[in-house]
Amino acid sequence: MTPASISSMEWLEVSVTVGNEAAEAVAEVLSRYAHRGVVIEAGPEGWNAGPVIVRAYLPADDQLRANKRRIEESLWHLDQISPVSMPVFRPVADADWAEMWKERLNVLHVGQHVVIRPSWRDYAPAPEDVVIRLDPGMAFGTGLHPTTQMCLVALEELVYPGVNVLDLGTGSGILAIEAAKLGAGRVLAVDNDPVAAKAARDNVVANGVQETIRVVHGSLSEVSGSYDLVVVNILARVILEMVQDGLAMRVRPDGALVAAGILADQESGVVAALKQEGLTLVERQQRDDWVCLVTKQGYRLD
């Protein structure tokens, strides 16, 4: 199908069916070309079982043919790492695309009390629910990926009223927002991607926690002081680099560090590096091939 054949359609829908683990990587690829956002949609078996569908919409402009080719090439490369189906393209009328977002994004429950709610979805929260409003537009930090879900669960256990939190690689700001809504006294959310930092700021305001959370475009080197709780949901390689750059110094005595984005076969190397800096492993979660580690500063296992 050529751009001319859909000139009256305005948009081209791209949909990719993929397993949970690769969903956010696919969403990141699509977000490079779909400037109005990416949606990750539950499959027929639900959010946490079976495949999910990643959808985005490309403008039918002069770049459409080249963007389709780039998407197909990028997904082919991803498929060499984790199974990814080839994209399905479908023309969509301009008047329809916005409503299609809303139909396909649903309320997501994570852990004991966390609820991720699109702004247009009606939801009657229970008294103990921690409701986070996240709309389409930011690929990473949607709450679907196993690493994000494990961090959300860990923060439910670790955040207490007044705690000071550092969220490195904040993405959409989902973990920082959860910490604030659980009663954190101060949260610093940091990301070296300016697009992510802007998305996080927007989400912080949408959730009404801007008095608690400060979002910074930067990296570990721009962070000073120490925190009761530090969360790093990135990649094992980046976490190891941060350890070398003084990550452990940002954790107060008796404080905790949550590290995620780690594949199971990378766990031992990360644990060893953290232990060398005085951080002891006290808890771990695993979902599929992903591991989340909770370590504590100055903690001794007798």
205-238 tens-digit pLDDT: 999 999 999 999 999 998 999 999 999 998 899 9
| Number of neighbouring beta carbons within 10 Å of residue 188 | 22
Coil, helix or strand at residue 265: helix
- In which order are the strands placed within the sheet that holds 279-287? 213-217, 186-191, 164-168, 227-233, 251-263, 290-297, 279-287
Domains and CATH numbers, the chain: 3-104 (3.30.70.120), 139-297 (3.40.50.150)
Mean pLDDT to the nearest integer, 159-167: 97
Residue 37: predicted pLDDT: 64
Q: Which segments of 137-193 does DSSP mark as H helices, in order?
A: 146-158, 174-181
For residue range 102-150, what is the model confidence (pLDDT) as tens digits? 666 678 888 899 998 887 888 888 999 999 998 654 435 566 678 888 9
Q: Between 184 and 37, name the one with better pLDDT.
A: 184
Cα 278 to chain centroid distance, Å, stands at 28
